[in-house]
Amino acid sequence: MRTIAKRLVGSRTWLIERRKWLLTALILIALAYPFIVRSYVLSLAIEVLIFAIFAMSLDLLLGYTGLPSFGHAAFYGFGAYLLAYLASRSDLALNLTNNLLITIPLVMLGTALLGLVIGVFALRTTGIYFLMVTLAFAQMLFSIAIGWSEVTGGSDGLAGVSRPSLGLGPLSYTFDTRESFYYLILALFLLTWWLLRRIVNSPFGWTLRGIRENEQRMRALGYNTFGFKMTAFVIAGAFAGLAGALIVHFFGIASPENLYWTTSGEVMISLIIGGAGSLTGPIFGAAVERLLPNFASSYMDRWQTLMGLVFIMFVMFAPQGVIGLIRTQREKPEVAGGK
């Protein structure tokens, strides 16, 4: 037994060290990335990082709290429109409409408040009913975006959003180049990953896991499960709004498609491919979901068929996603050592 315990401890220590080296290597590659790829590939990386933030925010609901939201595009699109509206208000004092120190807190606060409003109604339901209620709210916002053309621009959206700036007065810096904008997105992505990781590994995060596994038991133990779910819903909405604001700064336009149900479907597919319940899984899923259509469409006309086949393969043979396959391969040596 002692020999087995030593093997397991040694294997776990080796895995931790390998993970640290791998993380360091990935950060170094990410920092050098703009200097070794073409501008088009760099644009794809920016899109993947933004979509990964969006996917990680949904993972807090689906993977950790067990809330299958199919209307997460409501926060993504609302954040996009809120940022575009602020950027179009050139009459604001001190020309702070593109300053990240002003816009990002406002967008995240706005989407958090939206999450509070939607959560009051949606969190009173469970299962398929929760999924349908969240979808209904997202479609309501989509209809408002189409019809309220004086504010939202209608089907054309709100265009003309420039790249953001940081700082005040002569000390401000504008991320007008593709390379500088990439580093901004990379920094916000790493900050989001770190914050969400701290959240899911905190007592609050472990309580969310307990609610996911058995909410009635957690309620019997004295936990206010509604309050915990509401907090998770609001936090997820705030980070989804952040992703929406960043995608508007990238493409320069907020469109009704950001609110449409297909956007919720795309981020859900990212979680299924990458694996829910792990902040690493949504990153893998976002990369596959964003990159595969771009590359496949260059070589074949029916690339949607390929996407459908990939999705079916993951559902049938890897229901836990990419991260589930990695965990399975990681556990095999430990089982062999235990034998």
Q: What is the mean pLDDT of residues 134-138?
A: 96
Structure tokens given for 169: 């007065």
Position 1 pLDDT exceeds 80: no
Cα–Cα distance measured from residue 241 to residue 106, given in angstroms and rounded to the nearest whole number? 10
pLDDT (0 to 100) of residue 90: 56
The larger pLDDT score, comparing residue 93 to residue 55, is at 55
In the chain, the percentage of residues whose pLDDT exceeds 70 is 88
pLDDT of amino acid 16: 60
Model confidence, pTM: 0.89
pLDDT at 179: 93
pLDDT (0 to 100) of residue 104: 93
pLDDT confidence bin for 11, thresholds 50/70/90: low
Between helix 321-338 and helix 261-274 the angle, nearest 10°, is 10
Give the relative orientation of helices 280-296 and 321-338 as an angle to the nearest 10 degrees.
130
| C-alpha–C-alpha distance, residues 227 and 245, integer Å | 27
| Percent share of the chain, pLDDT over 90 | 57
Is residue 8 pLDDT above 50, yes or no? no
Helix, strand, coil % in the chain, rounded to nearest 5: 80, 5, 20
What average pLDDT score do residues 319-337 get? 68
Report residue 276: phi and psi, to 5°. Answer: -80, 160
Q: What is the C-alpha separation between 88 and 106, in angstroms, rounded?
A: 15
Whether residue 94 is predicted with pLDDT greater than 50 in this model: the reply is: no
Domain ranges across the chain: 1-36, 43-263
List pLDDT tens digits, range 144-189: 999 998 889 999 999 888 889 887 666 778 898 999 999 999 999 9
Position 35 pLDDT exceeds 80: yes
The string of pLDDT tens digits covering residues 202-254 is 999 999 999 999 999 999 999 999 999 999 999 999 999 999 999 999 999 99
- Token digits for 206? 């472990």
* Structure confidence by residue, pLDDT tens digits, 97-129: 678 988 999 999 999 999 999 999 999 998 899
Backbone angles phi, psi at 166, to 5 degrees: -140, 130
pLDDT of residue 212: 94
The pLDDT mean for the chain works out to 87
Contact call for residues 209 and 64 (beta carbons, < 8 A): yes
**Is the pLDDT assigned to residue 293 strictly greater than 80?**
yes
Residue range 3-28: average pLDDT?
Answer: 63
**Residue 70 has what pLDDT?**
94
Whole-angstrom CA distances from 2 to 12, 13, 37, 210 are 15, 16, 50, 32
